[in-house]
């Protein structure tokens, strides 16, 4: 009888330990990382995710490191008043990065329509990008004078997408289908050369030029897609 009692006690202790161990293991699959639902309201002016890893959609791929304080901007060709551009830059605390195409002078009469810009306040460059896919949003990149504003990559901002995309479609793809695709994706045809469609991203696009390139690579009627990346020699 005494042996039976001791056996039941040992069995009870083993069962209890097993239950405790099971309680320490998760009963459900691991949950998704928690995302703060108030993040868009904390940084309402933020256009792109500042922590993302940028992937080059061109052949060869690889990652691209964004310059946190530089951006490339193109102004509409109809803007002939240089003073308006300077006023806009001052309003958003931006200043031309002079180791670039030229050194525009505030007193000069000539116009300039593309600039690499340096952010002079404590914000990152992403605050000034054209807000693709966001309606009723105003920042530098959404201004009526600005045709395109996006980031620069590499050491000292030596590489940047200039907003142009080169596409090659399947043979015999109807022109109407091509035009419909470009219009639906916010792309404007500049010209066709040797069967390559040179297009430019517009403010009607729902995503930036890098993400648009990743998407276009998987469109069935498109054979090839390149994002036009400009490389500059920078002397820091």
Q: CA-to-CA distance for 89 and 87, rounded, in angstroms?
A: 5
The pTM is what? 0.75
Position 3 scores a pLDDT of: 52
Position 42 scores a pLDDT of: 52
Topology of domain 163-231 in CATH is: Alpha-Beta Plaits (3.30.70)
Q: Cite the residue boundaries of each domain of the chain with CATH code 3.30.70.260.
A: 163-231
Cβ partners under 8 Å of residue 25, min gap 6: none
Position 11 scores a pLDDT of: 45
Position 109 scores a pLDDT of: 43
Radius of gyration from C-alpha coordinates of the chain: 27
Phi-psi region of 136 (alpha: psi -120 to 50; beta: other; left: phi over 0): left
pLDDT along the chain (236 residues), means of 10: 50 42 35 42 66 87 89 92 92 81 49 86 93 89 96 84 95 94 96 94 94 92 94 62
Position 45 scores a pLDDT of: 63
Position 212 scores a pLDDT of: 93
Position 81 scores a pLDDT of: 87
Confirm if 197 and 169 have CB atoms less than 8 A apart: yes
Position 102 scores a pLDDT of: 46
Position 111 scores a pLDDT of: 53
């Amino acid at each position: 009888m005494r042996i039976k009692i001791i056996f039941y006690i040992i069995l009870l202790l083993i069962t209890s330990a097993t239950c405790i161990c099971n309680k320490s293991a998760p009963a459900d699959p691991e949950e998704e990382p928690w995302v703060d639902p108030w993040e868009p309201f904390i940084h309402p002016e933020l256009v792109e995710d500042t922590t993302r890893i940028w992937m080059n959609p061109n052949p060869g791929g690889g990652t691209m490191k964004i310059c946190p304080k530089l951006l490339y901007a193109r102004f509409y060709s109809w803007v002939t008043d240089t003073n308006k551009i300077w006023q806009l830059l001052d309003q958003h605390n931006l200043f031309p990065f002079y180791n670039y195409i030229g050194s525009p002078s505030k007193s000069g009469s000539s116009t300039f329509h593309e600039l690499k810009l340096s952010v002079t306040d404590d914000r990152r460059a992403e605050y000034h990008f054209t807000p693709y896919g966001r309606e009723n949003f105003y920042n530098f990149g959404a201004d009526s004078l600005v045709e395109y504003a996006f980031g620069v990559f590499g050491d000292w901002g030596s590489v940047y997408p200039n907003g142009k995309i080169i596409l090659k479609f399947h043979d015999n793809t109807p022109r109407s289908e091509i035009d419909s695709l470009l219009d639906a994706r916010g792309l404007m045809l500049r010209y066709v050369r040797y069967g390559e469609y040179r297009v430019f991203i517009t403010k009607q696009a729902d995503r930036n030029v890098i993400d648009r390139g990743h998407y276009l690579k998987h469109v069935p009627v498109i054979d090839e897609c390149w994002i036009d990346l400009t490389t500059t020699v920078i002397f820091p």
